[in-house]
Structure 1
Amino acid sequence: MKTMQLIKDYFLFIAIISCSLTSFAQQGKIQGKVTDDKGIGLPGSTVIIEGNNKSAVTDINGDFTIGNLNDGTYKINISYIGFTTQKTTVKVPQSSKLNISLKEDQATLDEVVVTGVFDKRTKLGASVAISTINAKTLERIAPASAADMLKTVPGVYVNSAYGEVKNVIYSRGVSANSVGGLANDPNGYYYVSLQEDGLPVAAVNSASLSADYFFRSDATIYRVEAVRGGTSSITSANAPGGVFNFLSKTGSGSKANEFRQKIGLEGDGKNLYTRSDINIGDTFGKDKKWSYNIGGFYRYSNGARYAGYAQNRGGQIKANVMKSYNSGSVKFYAKYLDDHNGSNVPLIGKGFGNDITLADGVKKTDSYALTATKVTIPNRSDSKTTVFDPTNLNHSKDAYFGIDWQQKIGDSWVINNNIRYSSKLADVDSQTATNFGYLDDPTTNFLMGTLQIFRPGVITYKDRETGQVLAQVKQDFAGRTPVYTVLNSTLPATVPEKPAIRYAGSVKNYTTLDELMNQFTVTKKIKKGSITGGFFYTNSRIISDPNITAPVLSVSAIGNKTAPLDVSFVQDGTGTAYQVSDPNSGYLKLGGSFGGGTYDYNSNQLSLFLGNNLNLTEKLNFDWGIRYETASIKGNNNRAARTTKSGGFDGNPLTIYDNYYSVLGTDIINFNVSSI
């Protein structure tokens, strides 16, 4: 028996060792960094092992890791759009990390660019970092947003987690959309210029709107030119982070007829996505000197996290007509955009740093968006109202018309004038943030308004549809310090395991932006280069009315698509009943408990620039330039303050939900500022 036991123990030992060795052998990995020929990391590069389904995509710094590999020799392919694919062999285990430098495709180096340079030239002949993305590449990467298209540009990091708008772009260390405010406030493409056919999409950016509200890529785009640094900060307004110019097809040269149809499922494989793109273009006229192009898209999407209503719906139409003649051309162009876009709300997680994961019971396809419930709220007044409608989302409109004229004079002079008038609208009813709050946390009760009752009593949470009591919490005070005790609860717990609710904030604003832009340049060719001078002028009128912070608040059970709870309070002793949430919608604190107001101002900007391109030798090019800017802004800002009306909007002090709105008063700030 002892012998048999020893044999069993031996084989068990061997099996354990074998498993350990197998496990150990699978711990090999390939690590490396992918850069361009200047040593700049290429985020989004694809690294694939030949004959294996394992691959990796480089991070923001160009680094990658492919793990769980056996020891041995592997052949890998490294590719990046606009660069020549490279193949190499690597042994596992590695003696050192791979350093892979990709070279730009020669075909792209010979492309003529017009963005951020003093005159038209090839990428190879430019003294600044220029990247281009052509139409075929745009089709292949299938971008979900304008910012998504820029993921293939070296040195540019894009975070489009919020959806098709409110994206975050980092270029040359400068963030486009995350300067101050809430994490998902737009706050403008302030140091990064998003352009459409040579002019900024919007010259004014604020906390209420940014350029990506008013730009959508579709089949009418034939190329993107991205310029970082150098002359881009001279030829373009306020663009130290770079210029990203989306160029439209004109129909000249060849027919540009195209139709694309995308149908698919998002999220958990149940959420519909459909999009149609069309583009038609050709030459016409007796001498074929005229050309036209018209196209656009329509898209309907329930989103990766279905909230019970579409998260993206709308489209645009663009058109241009161009007349070419021996010494130049003139192009008339127009666009109309009407689009609704949701913003993804962060889910509840656990852990810290690199160990953050979704909390137990939370799925990545869960929706924490507000339900499709409209509600009438105070409109910064004790008598006027407006409607908050979560299904309106971020509603963007843009209508513009422009003329682009190019004229050659003799053999050495070129004049270009591009003028455009646009009328924009950002009509936003959007959720801004969400988090969980424990039932016994004073902060939770302060946000709901129960703490402000400042009396002992019982808070009751009910399901609004069934009337079922889900939780009750006792509110007491030790002196002036609130103390909360959970009496009973069937609400889901969170991390740590305590009864909790999910609360959500919101924002409402209606902002119009009317702009006139004009850029004029004159270029003189000289023996070894060119001299370019010109000006950029813009006049912008922006009005935001209303602009309400937290027009509604909401508390609900933690879970997917959970509806607002009914919240009430009964005072100890007297039995006085307070209705904390609106009985019709379930929302709390209607009308802007965190303030708001209006603003109305006019902005003028004038920029003068001069640049010189010198071809000193065949291999040495030198650019220099100067830019002078002056700007003025004149207008007013009327900030709202907490209402002083007794009993709130309806005059009833027992209805807590309308007692905390804001009203416009005498806090009007007039300003008239000029800067150089």
Structure 2
Amino acid sequence: MTSLRAQLSTSSLAAFLAGPAMAQTAPAPAALPVSDSADAARSEARQADPLNLERVVVTATSVAKSKLKNSLSVTTIGDDLVTALNPQTQSEVLRLIPGMVDHGGNGPGGNGNITVRGLPITTGGAPFVQIQEDGLPTVLFGDMNFGNNDYWIRFNRSNTIEAVRGGSASVLASGAPGAVINYVSDTGEVPGGVIGLEGGVNYNSTKAYFAAGRALARDLRFHIDGYAIKGRGLRDPGFDAQKGYQLKANMTKGLGELGFVRLYLKRLDDAEPVYTGYPSLVHAGPSGFSGLSPFPGFDARTGTTVGIYNERINVLDSTTGELSKKKSDGLRPVASAYGAQLHLTPGGGLTIDDKFRYTQMSGSFSNNFMRLTRASNIVGSTVNGQTVGSIVYANGPLAGQPFNGTYVNTGPQVYTRIRDMGSVANDLSVSKAFDLAGGSVQLTGGLFYMDQRIAQDWHPNAHYQTLEGVNPAGLDLVSTTGQLLTLDGVSSYNTAFGLGANRSYDISAKNSAPYLNANWESGQVQLDVGVRHDRLRVKGWAESASAATTTTGLIGGALVSRSLLDPSTHEALNYTARYSSYSAGALYALNTDTSVFARVSHGGRFNVDRNILSGYTNPDGSLNESGRQKVVSRVKQQELGIKNRGQFGSLRYGTNATLFHSTYDSSNFDLTRGPTGTYFQSGYKATGLELESSFRSGGFAMLANITWIDAKVTANAQGPDPQNLVSSGVGNRPARMPRLLYVLAPSYRVGGFTGGVMLVGRGRNSVDTVSQYEAPSEVQVHLNAHWEFLPGATLSLNVHNLFDKLLADGHMSPGSLASLQANGTIDGLPIGTGAAVNGRAVVLGINYAF
């Protein structure tokens, strides 16, 4: 039997483009061992099918058919591609999917703003994208405050990502009208494994990883994989900001022709730094900027707002008023998951499949955000009822000495305790195959259920610190009478973003969704139609602070303010909401290598935790009229696509092109904008083209993904009162939505050496919806090289951001020349804040596949 070593030893981009080595090739394999003949056939298929269009789709589909025969836009990212390109963040992984827009710069642990096909992000997170692990959601809602779906998942060796954009995602998943991204685990179908070690050459981080699996008997197999990481990370804070591990395992017991039963286990305990917006000097013109230069003392490519002087955060308990110190761990998810799958094929065309998972999840989010303020605007202002007379260093080697700098970082210092984000999920489906009207029909009915807990405590402090990219010191304010107005740089506890941001809540959101899907196929024609009805039951409570529970007094000799929770703000949550979805598609196979498809879909998503304490409920917890209109956002899509594979001489290729049109309408609330929060009434439309392609000829291979998006704002009303919203920017392009996105990754293999380059680019885009102030087009260049110096042993070198360019990643705030100039200029250049791309990162690794 061919081992996994033979496949993993060619862990290079060229190998990936021939097809993923460890992909789950079918949702329900009957025979557990893989024979030599099956392995040989699979290898031959990969050679003839660079885009792997014969891979059976297991995500957001009710029928086990290949990508070529599915009326869906599907992308597969195998372990070989990730091994070759070695992305350092979740954002870098997801950008390999056509149509996906992930505003990165948030760090290796997640907290990204993820969207697809021109759908906007009004508040944050991934509102229209569901991230799954082995067919079940990691969390029920993709954009929960301090609980986004990318917090709880990590890509490791032997994973395969399968992404379905639009189409049946509206019917076969909840809250995913934009896309479903499924992290599919290897199940030991191919025996073997890998063990490896990698580390930063120009930064401090070391990661060890492994994967192994095989058949233990004819009807029993297992797989296990994991990693451990430790180091300071891409931006050095002076302590180990990366520290954690993940362990995953599964075991499959075959039941002969009756099917199989599979058990899953996962443990994630990780701490990863959070990177947010940082200052840069902007080469600005009246309608847009052409580039960036480093801010003096804070290089946005390498700087961070966290260091040894704020490694621990002072947290004031919102109930007792007790002060304690918490580790600034960045993004700290702790998750234990236990799952099972039962797949039965009793005969007569009947299939029963049930997936179950119980997950315990908790953790914390901590970070110092960035807000640029002139020191001259602080001196003379009123803080805690006193006039600020001077600024001194609060800690560090200059503690107690006067601060004479021009700029201060007054960004909030945030610690959120994620008490419970656990869930119970189950998806039961029953399929029946039969003949009808000269063709074959597969009718699938199912019931999805998920109970999502959302329990958190927020602690946002008003904080002052130096504007330095390495170990920023805290700054204390002193009144004109000599009174200290801050403690370790904190002037007020639990009051940043407004009193409503000092909040505690405990919510149970139970979603039940019956669905029905029918697929009919006759000869070259295939028709697919499905419906779904989601019903959400929300119970719980939420409380915040108020002026009545905000006081100013002495703590540690400093006159500071603090806020506690106010029981009079208690909001009961006890309501039900629902929406229906549909999807219909048709496919015509022109021949064995080409198919065309069309599809329409209509889906929705619930707004839950982001809408609490917003005035959307009655005293008994039911939704009022305004709340009933705001709880559901809706998306409609139309698609037309073609899939083709072929050969020109020795060049083999595969391509998938999809033309799409999306419309969206939503209402939402964001309490972090403005003193009392901001209400949104939004509408957008987008037309675009996704092109995914792969080429191979001898030792040459190339991945080429291109997305073009033409998006427009159809409604953009916002304000502090939901009854009096102000509309602006209608007809403009949405902020941070580029017209062009592309990934070009050529490589060449000679003997045991493979070298390649990857270009990740984006076109011009507006950084502000109203002003349409534009960011320039950008391209990141990454280098990868792999040398198999012994059979199974590979040495790898990856260089990210090869030319160490300072790039804004399409984002800059404020969004107009006048607002950029409001904070003054340095060397004639105004100052802006943006989520900059990390600087050059060199990674050296070695692994052995067996």
Structure 1 and Structure 2 fold alike (TM over 0.5):
yes
Aligned positions of 1:319-330 closer than 5 A: 319-326=249-256, 327-330=258-261
How many angstroms does 1:434 deviate by?
A: 0.7
Confirm or deny: 8 A CA contact 1:557 1:565 kept in the other structure.
no
Task: Indicate the residue corresponding to 1:60 in structure 2.
Answer: none
How many angstroms does 1:669 deviate by?
A: 0.6
2:410 partner SS: strand
Tell me the amino acid that sits aligned with residue 546 of structure 2: A
Please say if 1:357 is aligned against 2:289: no
The match for 2:345 among 385, 403, 408 is 408
Rounded to whole Å, the distance in 2 between the matches of 1:518 and 1:191 is 21
Confirm or deny: 8 A CA contact 1:80 1:152 kept in the other structure.
no
Deviation per CA, 1:600-651, whole angstroms, max 9, x where unpaired? 1211111111111122441x3221111111111011111122465765264x
How many angstroms does 1:400 deviate by?
A: 0.8
Rounded to whole Å, the distance in 1 between the matches of 2:558 and 2:567 is 24
Structure 2: 5+ residue runs without aligned partners?
Answer: 1-12, 20-47, 579-850
Rounded to whole Å, the distance in 1 between the matches of 2:416 and 2:248 is 27
Task: Indicate the residue corresponding to 1:228 in structure 2.
Answer: 165
How many angstroms does 1:251 deviate by?
A: 1.2
Task: Indicate the residue corresponding to 1:624 in structure 2.
Answer: 529
The match for 1:660 among 532, 550, 562 is 562
Instruction: Evaluate the alpha carbon distance shift between residue 405 and residue 138 of structure 1 in structure 2; reply closer, same or farther with a 3 A threshold.
Output: same
Confirm or deny: 8 A CA contact 2:313 2:415 kept in the other structure.
no
Task: Indicate the residue corresponding to 2:222 in structure 1.
Answer: 292
How many angstroms does 1:204 deviate by?
A: 3.8
Aligned positions of 1:99-138 closer than 5 A: 105=49, 108-138=52-82
Confirm or deny: 8 A CA contact 2:491 2:561 kept in the other structure.
no
Task: Indicate the residue corresponding to 2:448 in structure 1.
Answer: 536
Rounded to whole Å, the distance in 2 between the matches of 1:562 and 1:641 is 32
The match for 2:485 among 560, 577, 580 is 580
How many angstroms does 1:152 deviate by?
A: 1.9
Say which one has the larger Rg.
1
Task: Indicate the residue corresponding to 1:495 in structure 2.
Answer: none
Instruction: Evaluate the alpha carbon distance shift between residue 625 and residue 641 of structure 1 in structure 2; reply closer, same or farther with a 3 A threshold.
Output: same
Tell me the amino acid that sits aligned with residue 209 of structure 1: G
How many angstroms does 1:567 deviate by?
A: 2.7
The match for 1:560 among 455, 458, 470 is 470
Please say if 1:346 is aligned against 2:277: yes
Confirm or deny: 8 A CA contact 1:637 1:668 kept in the other structure.
yes
2:276 partner SS: coil
Task: Indicate the residue corresponding to 2:776 in structure 1.
Answer: none
How many angstroms does 1:138 deviate by?
A: 2.5
Deviation per CA, 1:430-459, whole angstroms, max 9, x where unpaired? 22x2132112225x775xxx444355x732
Instruction: Evaluate the alpha carbon distance shift between residue 530 and residue 554 of structure 1 in structure 2; reply closer, same or farther with a 3 A threshold.
Output: same
Task: Indicate the residue corresponding to 2:430 in structure 1.
Answer: 522
How many angstroms does 1:82 deviate by?
A: 5.1
Task: Indicate the residue corresponding to 2:688 in structure 1.
Answer: none
Deviation per CA, 1:525-577, whole angstroms, max 9, x where unpaired? 12323111111011122211x222x2351222545322112332233xxxxx2
Deviation per CA, 1:448-481, whole angstroms, max 9, x where unpaired? xx444355x732424643356434xxxxxxxxxx
Instruction: Evaluate the alpha carbon distance shift between residue 666 and residue 202 of structure 1 in structure 2; reply closer, same or farther with a 3 A threshold.
Output: same
How many angstroms does 1:303 deviate by?
A: 2.0
Task: Indicate the residue corresponding to 2:571 in structure 1.
Answer: 669
Tell me the amino acid that sits aligned with residue 244 of structure 1: I
2:238 partner SS: coil
Rounded to whole Å, the distance in 2 between the matches of 1:138 and 1:302 is 22
Please say if 1:453 is aligned against 2:385: yes
Instruction: Evaluate the alpha carbon distance shift between residue 562 and residue 404 of structure 1 in structure 2; reply closer, same or farther with a 3 A threshold.
Output: same
Deviation per CA, 1:263-320, whole angstroms, max 9, x where unpaired? 223xxx2x212111111211113xx210111111111232222111223221111111
Instruction: Evaluate the alpha carbon distance shift between residue 592 and residue 387 of structure 1 in structure 2; reply closer, same or farther with a 3 A threshold.
Output: farther
1:302 partner SS: strand
Tell me the amino acid that sits aligned with residue 192 of structure 2: A
Task: Indicate the residue corresponding to 1:257 in structure 2.
Answer: 193
How many angstroms does 1:147 deviate by?
A: 3.7
Task: Indicate the residue corresponding to 2:240 in structure 1.
Answer: 310
TM-score using structure 2 length: 0.58
Confirm or deny: 8 A CA contact 1:616 1:622 kept in the other structure.
no
Instruction: Evaluate the alpha carbon distance shift between residue 408 and residue 347 of structure 1 in structure 2; reply closer, same or farther with a 3 A threshold.
Output: same
Aligned positions of 1:374-453 closer than 5 A: 374-381=312-319, 383-390=321-328, 392-431=329-368, 433-441=369-377, 450-453=382-385
Aligned positions of 1:472-491 closer than 5 A: 489=404, 491=405
Rounded to whole Å, the distance in 2 between the matches of 1:445 and 1:342 is 35
2:421 partner SS: strand
Confirm or deny: 8 A CA contact 1:380 1:664 kept in the other structure.
no
Aligned positions of 1:44-63 closer than 5 A: none
How many angstroms does 1:426 deviate by?
A: 2.9
Tell me the amino acid that sits aligned with residue 221 of structure 2: S
Rounded to whole Å, the distance in 1 between the matches of 2:154 and 2:380 is 42
Rounded to whole Å, the distance in 1 between the matches of 2:537 and 2:191 is 45
Higher mean displacement: 195-204 or 609-618: 609-618
Tell me the amino acid that sits aligned with residue 597 of structure 1: R
Task: Indicate the residue corresponding to 2:625 in structure 1.
Answer: none
Task: Indicate the residue corresponding to 1:501 in structure 2.
Answer: 408
Instruction: Evaluate the alpha carbon distance shift between residue 581 and residue 609 of structure 1 in structure 2; reply closer, same or farther with a 3 A threshold.
Output: same
Please say if 1:213 is aligned against 2:143: no
Rounded to whole Å, the distance in 2 between the matches of 1:242 and 1:645 is 43
How many angstroms does 1:129 deviate by?
A: 0.6
Confirm or deny: 8 A CA contact 1:347 1:358 kept in the other structure.
no
Confirm or deny: 8 A CA contact 1:500 1:558 kept in the other structure.
no
Please say if 1:337 is aligned against 2:242: no
2:570 partner SS: strand
How many angstroms does 1:133 deviate by?
A: 1.7
TM-score using structure 1 length: 0.72
Rounded to whole Å, the distance in 1 between the matches of 2:554 and 2:332 is 28
1:293 partner SS: strand
Instruction: Evaluate the alpha carbon distance shift between residue 106 and residue 555 of structure 1 in structure 2; reply closer, same or farther with a 3 A threshold.
Output: closer
The match for 1:569 among 469, 476, 479 is 479
Tell me the amino acid that sits aligned with residue 465 of structure 2: V
Higher mean displacement: 303-312 or 319-328: 303-312
Rounded to whole Å, the distance in 2 between the matches of 1:406 and 1:171 is 32
How many angstroms does 1:359 deviate by?
A: 4.3
1:234 partner SS: helix
2:568 partner SS: strand
Task: Indicate the residue corresponding to 1:648 in structure 2.
Answer: 553
Tell me the amino acid that sits aligned with residue 313 of structure 1: K
2:150 partner SS: helix
Rounded to whole Å, the distance in 1 between the matches of 2:97 and 2:550 is 55
Tell me the amino acid that sits aligned with residue 491 of structure 2: L
Task: Indicate the residue corresponding to 1:179 in structure 2.
Answer: 122
Rounded to whole Å, the distance in 2 between the matches of 1:509 and 1:531 is 46
Instruction: Evaluate the alpha carbon distance shift between residue 627 and residue 258 of structure 1 in structure 2; reply closer, same or farther with a 3 A threshold.
Output: same
Percent identity of equivalent pairs:
20
1:112 partner SS: coil
How many angstroms does 1:189 deviate by?
A: 2.9
1:440 partner SS: helix
Tell me the amino acid that sits aligned with residue 385 of structure 2: I
Aligned positions of 1:17-36 closer than 5 A: none
Task: Indicate the residue corresponding to 1:590 in structure 2.
Answer: 493
Structure 1: 5+ residue runs without aligned partners?
Answer: 1-77, 85-103, 181-186, 472-488, 492-498, 572-576
How many angstroms does 1:365 deviate by?
A: 1.7
